[in-house]
Structure formats: structure tokens, C-alpha cells
Structure 1
């Protein structure tokens, strides 16, 4: 586990950041009157993820690899980070939409013009599935790109 200490640290930073982001969404009205715009607003978080991935991989490069890292080493670290961040942020999604914004899905469905579509898309299992897919796919793509730019060997 010592080998993945930095990835664990950064996955917790990801989780805290995502928790704060979802709270901001709630207080800006994206869990109530603007519920249908929440998925679009949530895409902005991808830019924050990009920055977090950059600093996480840079941290790994400096601390573990003594500023000498290959693309493969950086990419492997980023994949592990992606998996850990997916687990932690999925837990955050569950907590937020179960305890902090428990009426979000009902609100989104009631605001929707297409109830059948809304009932299919606005529920906790779908949000959890989407979170897993989003965090893994963004993580892999961001890791591949950042690894290319920070590699030194």
C-alpha cells in the first residue's frame, strides 16, 4: 500500500473536491429549480479534474520518481488514481443524493417534459453508473495526455 500512497492521497482530494462541487451545485440551484441543467453544469468539473490529475501525476513524478518518469510509469500511476478516484467519488454521489439532496431526482423528473426519459435517467443507480463511466473515461484520457507532457524519459 505504501507504493500507492500518493494515489490514495489524491483520490481523497478528488473526493473532497467533488463533494464541495456538488454542494456548490446544490446552493446554486442545480439540485432544485435548475435540476435539468445539472448534468451540463457538472461537465465543468472535468476542467477541475484535469488540474487535479496534473498535480497528482506531477506529485508522483517528484516524490517517487525523483523527477524522472516515463510515459508508462505516469500512465500506470494515473490508471490507479482513476480507479481509486472513481470509488471515492461514487461514494460521494451516493451520500449527496441520499442525504444532502434526497429530492433531486423527484424534482428533475417533475421539471422534465418527457417523464419516461426523465424517470430512466434521473435516479440514483443511473447517476452512480454515469459517475463510474465519467470518472474512469476522463481519468484514462487525462492521464494519457498529461503523462505525455510530463514524461522525462
Structure 2
């Protein structure tokens, strides 16, 4: 456990950033009156996500005495991604039960209004699908981000 304390810290910080971002999205109306822009603006989360990974891997490098190989950085980032993935079900439940319980209803109605089939839309926009997507997405995007950020934060 002691070996992944740093990754656990950054995984929890990343999780908090996701929840904070969702609160921000809801506050500016992306889950209600501006839901038509949600699919575009939600992608801007990539900016804080990359910043968090850079800070995490710089922290990892400091903990290794200022030297870190690409593989050490990549592995650390991958552990962070797995931690975020494991927290995802709880996060999705928290988001859709307490922070933005109207999101699925609003996005389904918007999508149907845009001409999509209700059955297909309801099959996609629900808690179970979002939990699966967030878990897989956290590992996939975390691995890619870790690979790139580790390249730039490695130091011999």
C-alpha cells in the first residue's frame, strides 16, 4: 500500500476534479438549458486532466529523487488511471443521483427531439452505461495520457 500512496493521492484528486467539473457543467446549464452544447464543452475537461497528470508525474519524479524513467512514469500514471476507474461507479452514482439527477431525462428528451430513436437513446443514456463507459474510459485515456506525459516528465 505504501508504494502507491502517491498514486492514490492523485487518483483521489482526479476524482475530485471530475466531480468539480460536473458541478461546474451543471452550474452553467450544460445539463439543462444548454444541453445542446454539452457534448462539445465537456471535452474541455481534458485541460485539467492533463494538468493533474503532469503534476502527478512530477510529484512521482520528486519522490524518486529527481530521476524517473518513462516506464516508471507510465506505470505511475496507469495506477492513477486504475484508481480513477475503480472510483468511477461511485462517482457516476453521486453525479446522477445527487448532483445532476435530471441529466439523463434532459439528454434523452433533447436527443429524441433531434430525431433519434427513443429506445436507442435510453439504452445509451443511463447509469449502467455511464458507469461502464467511465471505467473503461478512465483506463484508456489514463494510459494514453500517462504515456505522453511520462515522455515529457522523464529525467535521467
Which residue, out of 135, 138, 143, partners 2:141?
Answer: 138
Offset of residue 41 of structure 1:
2.0
Question: What is the DSSP-based 3-state SS (H/G/I as helix, E as strand, rest coil) of the residue aligned with 2:33?
Answer: coil
Query: Deviation per CA, 1:12-57, whole angstroms, max 9, x where unpaired?
Result: 1111111110001111111112334323322111221111001001
Instruction: Give the TM-score, by structure 1 length.
Output: 0.91
1:133 Cα offset (Å): 2.3
Q: Look up the match of 1:95.
A: 94
* Structure 1 CA distance for aligned equivalents of residues 89 and 37 of structure 2: 20
Contact 1:14 1:89 in 2 (8 A): no
Preserved contact between residue 11 and residue 81 of structure 1 (Cα < 8 Å) = yes
Which structure 1 segments of 5+ residues have no match? Answer: none
Using structure 2 for the length normalisation, give the TM-score.
Answer: 0.90
Q: What's the C-alpha RMSD, in Å, of the aligned pairs?
A: 1.5
Contact 1:29 1:35 in 2 (8 A): yes
Q: Which range moved further: 66-75 or 86-95?
A: 86-95
> Counterparts of 1:43 and 1:128 in 2: how far apart (Å)?
18
Q: How many residues align?
A: 152
User: Where do 1:70-149 residues align within 5 Å?
Assistant: 70-112=69-111, 113=114, 114=116, 115-149=118-152
Structure 2: which 5+ residue stretches go unaligned? none
Contact 2:15 2:84 in 1 (8 A): yes
Name 2:27's counterpart in structure 1. 27
Contact 1:18 1:89 survives alignment (8 Å)? no
